Chain A
């Protein structure tokens, strides 16, 4: 994915085959950036950035663009560093395989960003991005990730997912971490928290919390740090919260002594919870909304073993999503509806170990995405292409990010026992 370039070596290669990515000028549709040959990724160079925080910004941009899996980040060396200063020699960069150059100048107010179309030999996009005053702060990093995502949109036509965060649980506390694995911090007190979920605003989170009388749903404001316990159905089990796409309601599983069913309540209190599923003594948990908010996917044991079902948000029109044959005792659970609505990720036991699968809603085509270790609790990134999940492949539970299209996988967390991840939406207005 990454190629080192040596100017001297590149010069020697001038007579060899043409660079893999042929950049062409195109202004068709929303793709205001570059086009390139199908099956290849455009080579992108982030030019060295001057100033005290320049190296840091360059490193974040490079990492973000790399993790987006849509461009090929070409790492420059000290040789190309000199090539980047002063007048830009498009011909040389084209020889390297660069389709785009990202040129950032840090100013008092933030970052002045220009993206060069190497093939067209011109600047394709220019924009000033404000940056918070405190470099390396959470907000500063989030703003730099926002630059990465906008640059990725300029180049590929699709916004990146760097300006997102992942919620998860480790050691009974809820943590949040930037999409690139930096900036980890705890956002709940010590206790036994499980199943964190994002409010679509990115400002609030919900999770379940053990108490002496059972589990309750906690809604926490990340901006103020204040939390509130939903007491619409006190006592017993209150687990696996998820917010509706419009942010107005919260769906969770509640159980006492006659099975566990899904309930819906106002996201910020007021009014009684309304029951959604009629499980008749079985377990119905782990809801996930369709992006339009009209349907829910969830795990149910109503057929005698856990399978994934979908239903309208009022509980009607229940359908078994994951196919099973008579006598099949497989265990399928933890659905997560993709942001484009086409797919649902879930986990299925293969030879006794959970693996991440996807199923298409149109024709129920199932695809297995993982095979190494135990892999579970997948959550989609807002691009509908990357997934974060829990994997035991290193011997302990850690979060990994998978590009479902290329199969490329990277480790997101390094604290043992990290699990139950939830990927945020784009946090361009987050606190």
Chain B
């Protein structure tokens, strides 16, 4: 009770101080010919407050737009990443693992949201196996991913396939860690890639 009563004058004093502060930064106006009175001071204050509010609103709006743009760009980047994410295979196999299917699943909404986008799937193999047979295996790997996408509604004409066999390894080592990175499908956007839209 006593604390509260003591607060009141402090608050009043504080407000007065604030009001004084509020006035202080304004540049000293040129000697006004018009007589100053309480009414004109209040109008001037209201005008300044209005400008401040407008500026703040504009800053908020810009920040929101920026945030939205950032979000959209991140979504587009995520969409692009999903579209080009590499799919990996087991040795001498074109079968899609569950992980591979998951990677392909994430491409489908992006392809659906961007009907003008066309892609090329490039099949690759590791260095083991016959150089020549590996070209055919790479072709089968590319076709395997394409078949999955077309079975999930992507138009056949939007996807090309090509095989590079073991000719373009992603990793140059001669052990399983390199081989596992090289048994893969790569996804290249061949048309409509300038303005990828994120799926809604």
Contact = CB atoms under 8 A, between A and B. Distances in A.
A and B: interacting chains: yes
Contacts of A208: 135
8 contacts: A237-B163, A255-B139, A257-B139, A257-B143, A260-B140, A301-B136, A306-B92, A331-B130
Contacts of A362: none
A321 B19 CA distance: 101
Interface string B156-192: 0000111110010000000000000000000000000
B92 to A, nearest CB: 6
A238 B130 CA distance: 16
Given A210-B164, A213-B162, A331-B92, A377 B140 contact: no
A354 B131 CA distance: 12
A180 interface: no
Given A240-B132, A306-B92, A347-B130, 10 more contacts: A210-B167, A214-B162, A215-B135, A237-B136, A237-B139, A253-B132, A256-B139, A260-B136, A284-B136, A299-B133
Interface string B96-123: 0000000000000000000000000000
A285 interface: yes
B128 interface: yes
Given A214-B162, A237-B139, A283-B140, A194 B133 contact: no
Interface of A: 192, 194-195, 208, 210, 213-215, 236-237, 239-240, 253, 255-260, 281, 283-286, 299, 301, 305-306, 331, 333-334, 347, 352, 354, 376-377, 419-420
Interface of B: 92, 128-133, 135-137, 139-140, 143, 146-147, 160-164, 167
A390 to B, nearest CB: 9
A334 B132 CA distance: 8
B185 to A, nearest CB: 13
Nearest to B150: A257
B157 to A, nearest CB: 13
Given A192-B167, A210-B164, A213-B160, A259 B140 contact: yes
Contact of B132 (A214, A236, A239, A301): A239
